[in-house]
């Protein structure tokens, strides 16, 4: 279980509600990964960082392909990492393999997923 904001572990039991239902209102990036996967170890921290930085503009669902073989089979995952963007209950795009942070940002931007605006406290009116 992840303790990072906007990051969760997707399982067979939670996939429909945590990914498909949630994607009806918020895009969900689904990261198919494995503990033994070298490229996953470089991509996962980038995705987790962006999920926090984008502060709810998208949610990151992580699927451990060894533990969640049924989900991996349903999505025909042949290699890890593989990432899908789910919007409106459907996969709209994805990419195989690890990408540098700049390319992941570009991928998100192409699909209208933009970083959250920084919260700025409003100044009190001057009397």
Active site residues: 37, 40
> Cα separation of 5 and 11, whole Å?
18
Beta-carbon contacts of residue 58 (< 8 Å; ≥ 6 apart): 6, 26, 27, 28, 29, 51, 85, 108, 113
Residue 64, beta-bridge partner list: 33
Alpha-carbon span 29 to 53, nearest angstrom = 14
Contact (CB, 8 A) for 70 and 15: no
């Amino acid at each position: 279980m992840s303790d990072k904001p906007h990051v969760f572990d997707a399982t067979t039991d939670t996939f429909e509600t945590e990914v498909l239902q949630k994607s009806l209102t918020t895009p969900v990036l689904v990261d198919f990964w494995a503990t033994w996967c070298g490229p996953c170890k470089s991509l996962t921290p980038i995705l987790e960082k962006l999920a926090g930085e984008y502060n709810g503009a998208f949610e990151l669902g992580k699927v451990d392909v060894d533990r969640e073989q049924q989900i991996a089979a349903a999505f025909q995952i042949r290699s890890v990492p593989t990432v899908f963007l789910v919007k409106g209950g459907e996969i709209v795009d994805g990419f195989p393999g690890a990408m540098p942070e700049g390319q992941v940002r570009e991928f998100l931007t192409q699909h209208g997923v933009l970083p959250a605006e920084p919260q700025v406290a409003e100044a009190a009116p001057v009397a």
